Each structure stands twice: as C-alpha cells, then as structure tokens.
Amino acid sequence: MKLFNKWDTTKIDFKDLGLKKYVCLELRILPQSFGNTNKESSRKSKINVVERLINKMMRSGQGKKKLSGKYIRHRLGTGKKEQIIKFVDESFDYIHKVTKENPVQIFIRAIENSAPREDITKLQKGGITYTQAVDVAPVKRLDESLKNIALATYKNTYNSKTEPYKALSEEIIAASKNDSKSYAVKRKDEIERIAQGSR
C-alpha cells in the first residue's frame, strides 16, 4: 500500500530522532482518517503527517498573525478537503519531477529543517515580566513546522498567478535544502535567534 498509490512510506530516513516518534507515516492510499482518532489521547501523533499538512492548509481566517498586513488563508476556502488533497498530490508529483526522489522523504526533511528547537516564554517575578528561553516539545515543533509550511503556500500565492500546488512544492523543496528562501526555515531561525538572546 502506497501513499496516493505512488509513494512508499516504509523506508523513510529520519535525521532528527526527536521527531521520529511523533511523525506518523501510517500506510494509507488516501491520507484521510475521517476523525477516527478524535477520542484518543495523543491523537495528533496517530494521524498521518501528510493529512496533518492538509488539515493545516484548510484552516480559515488570518492565522496567528498577518503576513505584511495580508490575510493569508483566502484562496482555497475552508473545508474543501478533497481539493486540498488534490493540491498535495499534484505537489508531490511536482517534487518528484524536480528532485527525482521520493517526495515523502523530501517532505520529512523539510519538516526536520523547519522545526524550531528553542522558543521563549514570559515569566513574572514580583512586578517584573521577562522572557526566558525554553526547549520546544517535539509535538509543538512538528505543529510549528507544518503551520509555517502551510502559511508559506498562502503567502506565495497571495495576489499572484502561482498555482497552490507549485507554491507548496517550492516551499517544501527549499525547506528540505535548509534554504533561507524558505519562509518556514526563516521563521525557525528567527524564533531560535530570539530565544538565544533570552538565555
């Protein structure tokens, strides 16, 4: 059984072993769980990571913040899962065409390169509030990485004729190479730089 009936998910290499436990690559032709894990504890780690990317791309509104004043999730709408699945399928085909490698492996490499290891938290002592650097839990690292890859897709298609599948492909390929052109890698570097200043 292969993802989209094309891509093998059984021989994927992980360089970041901290994330390996939380990245689910369950054997499925279609990355769709129909909410079957909703009542289980630690359900995120039981949902296929490709489906999690699809779910992140379906969110509505502007997200945590605007990108240069732009509302980002406007183009595909909310709840159109079949349409997003089609975009991700086309995106993986494009990644394979460009890199000649298994796109699932490229996607996992992109996640590893764009998952922040450190972040800051606010602490209050007396009347003084200050920031402190903290290690990021693996589940949150994976969430942040997927969120930033999805955001980059919308950022690159905003007021542009770029097809969503192509924008997603280019972001995943850039992140897999740890390229500073990738929005997800830039966000990771920015978060870690701020955390380094709060040690």
- What's the CA gap between 33 and 120, in Å, rounded? 34
What was the pLDDT predicted at 41? 59
- What's the CA gap between 82 and 122, in Å, rounded? 40
Domains and CATH numbers, the chain: 17-116+139-185 (1.10.455.10)
The set of long-range contacts for 50-55, using a CB threshold of 8 Å and a minimum separation of 24, is: 50/3, 50/88, 50/104, 50/107, 52/142, 52/146, 53/88, 53/107, 53/146, 53/149, 53/150, 54/81, 54/84, 54/85, 54/88
What was the pLDDT predicted at 111? 93
Closest CA to 89 of 65, 57, 116, 61: 57
What was the pLDDT predicted at 125? 85
Task: Fill in the DSSP letter of residue 137.
Answer: P
Question: The tokens of 110 are what?
Answer: 């992109």
Question: The tokens of 92 are what?
Answer: 């993986």
Q: Contact 72/60 with Cβ under 8 angstroms?
A: no
Cα torsion through 181, 182, 183, 184, rounded to 10: -150
Residue type, 88: V
- What's the CA gap between 117 and 41, in Å, rounded? 24
10-residue mean pLDDT profile of the chain (199 residues): values are 84 88 83 69 77 82 54 57 88 93 93 90 86 88 90 80 88 92 90 86
What element of type H or E holds 132? strand 128-135
The number of beta carbons lying within 10 Å of the beta carbon of residue 83 is: 14
Measured in whole angstroms, how far is the alpha carbon of residue 159 from the centre of its chain? 22
Question: What is the model's pTM?
Answer: 0.85
- What's the CA gap between 35 and 159, in Å, rounded? 33
Cα torsion through 32, 5, 140, 191, rounded to 10: -130
